[in-house]
Structure 1
Amino acid sequence: LRICRQWIISLFIIMVTIEGQTRYSIPEELKRGSIVGNLAKDLGLVVSDLEKRKLRIASEGGKQYFGLDLRKGDLIVTDRIDREELCGNRLSCVLPLELVIDGPLQLYRVEVEIQDTNDNSPSFITKEKVLKIAELVNPGAKFPLESAQDPDVGSNSVRSYIISRNEHFKITVKTHKDGRKIPELVLEKALDREKQPIHNLILTAVDGGDPVRSGTSQITVIVLDNNDNAPQFERNVYEANVSEKATPGAEVVSVKATDIDEGLNGEIEYFFGDQTPDLVLSLFDVKPNTGVIVVKGPLDHESHPVHRFDVTAKDKGNPEMDGHCSVEIKIIDVNDNIPEIIVKSLTSPVPEDAAVGTVIALISARDLDSGDFGKVALTLFSGSPFKLNPSVSNHYSLVTSGLLDRERSGHYRVKLRASDNGRPPLSSEKILDVELSDVNDNPPVFSQPVYVVYVKENCPPGRILYSVSASDPDLGENAKMSYSILDSKVQDVSVSSYVYINSENGSIYSMHSFDYEKLKVFQILVQAKDQGSPSLSSNTTVHVFILDQNDNAPTVIYPSSAGLGSLSLQRMPRSAKAGHLVTKVTAVDADSGHNAWISYRVAEATDASLFGVNQYTGEVRTKRAVSEQDDSSQRLLIAIKDDGEPAQSATVTVSILLEDGLHEPILDIRHKAAESGGKTGRLALYLILSLASVSVLSVVTFLILAVKCVRNNSASCCVRRSDCDDYKNPNRNLQIQLNTDGPIKYVEVLGGDMMSQSQSFRSCMSPMSEYSDFTLIKPSSTSDFKEVLSVLDASLPDSTWTFESQQVS
């Protein structure tokens, strides 16, 4: 028997695929854990991917009767399935399932048909039925009996009726158009009350199942003596339609019966049949005197579109007689249900780099109304990067219609509207909240493309120089940044030897004190990198300018005191007049700007009235003519001070020896010229003309260079290396030229002959300059001068200069 039962069950479980849908058929009352079918195989899925792709059942609310075995891909029974409880007396009982699987998001429709088994026996609501029949009723009269109820359907429902053996009655079965079988008791032989006043019968209802099931009811027939005519209805079946919006008291249909008897025997009252369901009694009422059926309670086409019941007409005779008719009322649908939007599956958050067409949600729309009233159209409000793709049977997929960007909009309120085809149409709206998850698609961005930092020299190590900052519009780890300094060279040394950076906040610290005279400007290449995967980065440049401090005292270049202690001996003739150039004190300052501006003054003198020093050039000249009373040995202490704050200073002692008979070279030249003036007059004329030509040519050249400087906005002008014929001899020229390196300007000293006692200087100033500060130098030693000039700085931040020194023979 068990083997046979398993074989029968296996025959019931059949899989059918129709229009992309998978259908299984199973018998009701299967045990929990029974396998309905292998979904993985039937849907073409890989079993090993089911758990990772999160295969799940997404059926609409209500009790769930099925589950999934993801290890095997089977659809299994998880609860008791009673077809009669689920579907009542409907012939077809189908449970729809919707399966959702992620990665990519897909929807599968599966139908499970529940096959009926003969697990219910026919039964009568009334176990004992009493019929009162007059003894004068003619044979052939029919008396409707109660139908047996069997929750099973098809061949398992009631098939026939049997009456117990007797000599007066038989059973006939009348089949309604809806398939119901109604038994009728037919009188075959006239009754005789005097012989047998009561007849006890047993009515048996038999179904068509295997094995056969049955149910019984006791029928008691009481034979009456009078009132020999029963009421007769004009029609056996009354049909009517009523709107589901009909209010209580509205007339539905009127039934009418007649009785040919007179008096009380012909007066009729109308009642619901004995087996009328409680639902009908709550929705309708019948007027006893008129037979008018009216609405009593609220009607609903969606839950009960048709109501069927019997009406009995009884007279008032003794004994009373009755007649029966059937009533069928159809509830007409109206558009009284608002469409419903059902979200089957929603993926949120959605990666912001999701490709166009990525499925975000599976949505269905339904309307409980019927016909056109139940047809629903789902639309999407504009304003979001999503669109609806229709699927089968009012199902839709919400997909991306454009590129997403969480930084521009990280949250979308997707508004949907469902409308039916009613007049007027009914609609409903639903909002889906879709969040976007961050993807590391934005590199860090510095607050400035380039940073400029000014740092004073001699500041202590460990001081914070600057704090760079970068922002990243991403979130979480994708926005968490670390700062680092990319390796580069500063004077052939790694930049990490000069500074280091806090990787968390971007603060840059000095590693040691800076010396402007050694390092004026350098660059730091800073990188900001986020913690995303893969990580993104960006770079910025920090220009660090060292600001000069007055930390260097002036250094005397000439007169040199080497070999003479602290003295410098100069000779001059006693015949010198006022303004005679005795010597020139030259000093330099390794600082720059105002810190390097030098001034000279006489601090001490043997005779303060005889000598003076030019404050700016350092030229020592006689203030008056030398007299016979002046001492032959004169001593000057010259103080040299810069313009820094606080000022730095140095001193130099100049000893001057006044000698008789020592003549100035310039006087000798003039004397010789006077003597030979007459002889060389013509030659002088030629020389004058040549000098004038050269002068004109020089002026023209100067003007051309000046125009070129103005047009090119050059940092240096007037005389370049290639302009000097004597440049080929490094001991013949001294050129001081201001160069530029980005925003920093500095001076270079090129070449020079240190042994000359007579120097001439000239300069050119750029059109943008507002300063005219010059340092004229007369070096005495090539090697000493090179050492001093290694720290020379004549940087003027607001001007551009070129200095040239050439020896005049």
Structure 2
Amino acid sequence: MITDRVVLLLVLSVLWPSTALPFTPGNIGNLFGMPDSDGRTLQRSKRGWMWNQFFLLEEYAGNDHQYVGKLHSNMDRGDGNVKYVLTGDGAGSLFLIDEKSGDIHATKRLDREEKAMYSLNAKVLDRRTNLELEPDTEFNIKIHDINDNEPKFAKETYFASVPEMSEVGTSVATVTANDADDETYGNSAKLVYSILQGQPYFSVDSENGTIKTALPGMDREVKENYQVVIQAKDMAGQMGGLSGTTTVSITLSDVNDSPPRFANHSFRVTTVESTEIGGAIGRIKADDPDVGRNAEMEYSIVGGHDTFNIITDQTTQEGVIIIKKALDYESKRDYEFRVEVKNTYLDARFIHGLQFKDYATVKVTVEDVDEPPVFTRNPYIIEVHEDTAAGSFVGVVSARDPDADTKPVKYSIDRHTDLERLFNIDSVNGTITTLKALDREMSKWHNISVVATEINNPRQTTRVPVFIKVLDVNDNAPEFAMSYDTFVCENVKAGQLIQTISAVDTDEPLVGHKFVFSISATNPNFTIADREDNTANILTRRGGFSRREMSMYFLPVVISDNDYPIQSSTSTLIVRVCACDSRGNMQTCNPEVLPFSDGLTTGALVAILLCVVILLMIVVLFAALRRQRKKEPLIISKEDVRDNVVSYNDEGGGEEDTQAFDIGTLTHSDLCWAAEKTPIPPITSRPSPSRSPSRSPSRSPLWNPNSCQLLNCGSVVKWSFHSDVMILFTDRCVGQFGSFSSCH
């Protein structure tokens, strides 16, 4: 920029040989105010032109510093008093200025792709005072681009796909490259795309890099993948331009353009007759070169089949043949049917002219296996009456060997199902009989298992349940349904209801129970009225009952059923006589009357009373014996012989101790013994301690109540017990005894 006093001169060493200041050709003099060719004095224009932008080529390869331009001020008289200073981007490092001349040089190679423009400030200073002679002037240095960068793709390899059989011109993918050179300057960044590899299948748009199909009918089943190389070249593709390449991997995606086909149109399958229903017996497979859902197939039997079915294994795309109905070698051994296969999903573009299905024939052969016996029925339900005697016929089961080569079968009962061994079976003909009599009231049903076994192959067995129902026979008599607590009031009137009774019967007649109740027609006290609903009312025949006359009545009631043969029983209803109020409410009954259980017979009641009487007699007798053993108190007399009692302080020992005491000193002259009785044997002295303690079995007892009789004994003075010998002392007699026969 030029002020009133300063002229800034820029010289471009490469692009412009003269000053960088704008001027009109031939008018250099106007820089200094000199007259032009017409003799007119020219005046300086004040900043009416632009000089503040300079240009510099990038990537300078010279040995010297690259010259940028020159700054010059009118204040500079060439005497060295003016100093030029440069500040801003890269000043002092990238750009240097000569303080005296104002020449600017670049010290390094500059890369436009790193920085395309630098902003700098120019100053003019007085060297002596360091004061500014001109205001700061800003200018730019723009780096001119050269073609030093090749086009680059973002990826080395791109992946794309296009459906097979696509029409020509179908877009596949677009790949673009970038060039770091200046797009606004020359053709350094103008790119042109071309295909180096991949023809004639694909083409590329030279301007935008869009890849398209170039060949019709590309079949994935023939070739699935293509490697296409795309080139991007700058300088508009002209010679000398730089280029870059990338690879595009293009895969043809599948479409359903191929139908399924059987490689073999006839299949043979073999299976055994014992294969379970739902079991697979074989697989068939069709081929489809498509992939994914386009290769999914469905198998079916043409026209259907009652014995076989076919389903599709979604994993392997095979047809699995399964059994719908049990096979029997003896009934049918060979089967044949036709199988159809077709795609699950169809593409409307390809169904015209192609049949997307195929057919094959399947032949199935059934092989024989050794099968277990088969019962004619399963299960068996048999009925038998409960009164059937042991050994009676119950029913027959039958089984056969289903194989073509029929084998004999034997029968048996699984005893785990007949623990009571109530039944038997004939091993040859399967006839079931009873081993014991059956009772329906104990068990209404018997569930047993019969086993049929091949005689030649015991491993081949079959079980069948046999349910035996025991039919009822009227073999139980009805009886009271419950125990009744019945009473009649003393003030009752004739015809008064005192009890309603009912009955139960464990039998089960076909038409239901019908019970008949009756009592003796001559009963003077009570009558009965059958209500025709298996209940009956007990009524009084008279009034005026009295507890004093009879506190309890035993009323036999006969109950009969209506089945065949008729069963009846007699139950006893006990009726107590009680005192009641005017409204018939019981107040008190005879407390001595015990509540007996219903149904007791008269004989049973008599036996109970007799037992009670005997028990009372035993108690009384025991009490009398206890009182007899209590004696009178001692009587002291002049003839008291208590001083003659010798105490030995010895107990126990048994029979040998009876010889240890000599009571001869106790002999009294007043003893009186019956002359006809045998006198008391003498008592020997006590044996020495060294004598064996064993008993002598031949020794006679000391006292025999039948040998003598104690008479006129007088008063009892004292009892003394030694072992099993009891000595009685009286005032006139002494005796040894175990018991008295009499004492007067």
Task: Give the TM-score taking structure 2 as reference length.
Answer: 0.38
TM-score (norm 1): 0.35
The structure where helix makes up a greater share of residues is 1
